[in-house]
Amino acid sequence: MKILKRIILGFVFLLAVLTVYYIVNQSNYIYFPDSDVSETPSAIGLEYEAVTLQTRDNVRITGWFVPAEESKFTILFCHGNAGNIADRLEFLKMFNRMGLSTFIFDYRGYGDSEGHPTEKGTYMDAEAAYDYLIREREVPYSEIIVMGRSLGGPIASYISSHFPVRALIVESSFTSIKDVAPFHMVIPAKFFSRFRYNTKEYVKNTDIPVMIIHSRNDEIIPFSHGKELYSAAGERKKFLEIEGFHSNGYLQSYEKYKDGLKEFLGAL
């Protein structure tokens, strides 16, 4: 019994240590920025404008505006938690071929953007990007499609629930950080997370057309999260099921992905 008691106490102690470590270092499990912007849209033959913005808390962030001829809509693209905008050139190529202009930006701490990422900070970064389209480029809100992939899902959904846009697209994202944390952490991270990124709540408060994209093969964000987000959306919604893993499903399902986007945007 003494040996068993020691084992149990040892396990409890280890769990406590891991929990404290997680609480202190949570951001290291959320953000994986890369400061090396290795390529630009010119590498794939696209014209672009490098943009520098100042957020309302005075952080300098950077992005690219990639125009398309006679574009009907402009995509405000919120990328995922790893890398930077240079890792999203395939999206820029796809959107450009579809006749869509795109503004993609790096969150604070990513690429050439200053600072360190935080939940509130990423929302302010997206606000600055939205404000740039409205004020500097004079894009009507009725022509802005805000799109978020993975971690970008709650950020895009936040924008759509706080500012007027034409539609929202959420791909390979989660209902909230607290809901998805148990799939990746041994400790009960759900109860200790200081991050919310509550995509489901933002989607629920968005009264515009919503498209949810998710793969059953997603090994990072369970397919059930995509279905829950779809259920939380209003009446004007579309669900597109794709194939492939979290990082490359949009490429493995390229034609289906592109056709689904065209159908959704064509109905707006």
Number of compact structural domains in the chain: 1
Q: Are strands 167-171 and 210-215 parallel, antiparallel or unpaired?
A: parallel
Cα–Cα dist 171/103, whole Å: 17
Flag whether the pTM goes above 0.95. no
What share of residues in the chain are helix, strand, coil (percent, to 5)? 45, 20, 35
Cα–Cα dist 27/222, whole Å: 21
pLDDT given at position 4: 57
- The residue range of the domain holding 233 is 2-266
Tens digit of pLDDT for each residue in 97-126?
999 999 999 999 999 999 999 999 999 999
Tens digit of pLDDT for each residue in 47-56?
999 999 999 9
Buried b (16+ CB within 10 A) or exposed e, 222-239: beebbebbbebbeeebbb
Find the CATH number of the domain harbouring 196: 3.40.50.1820
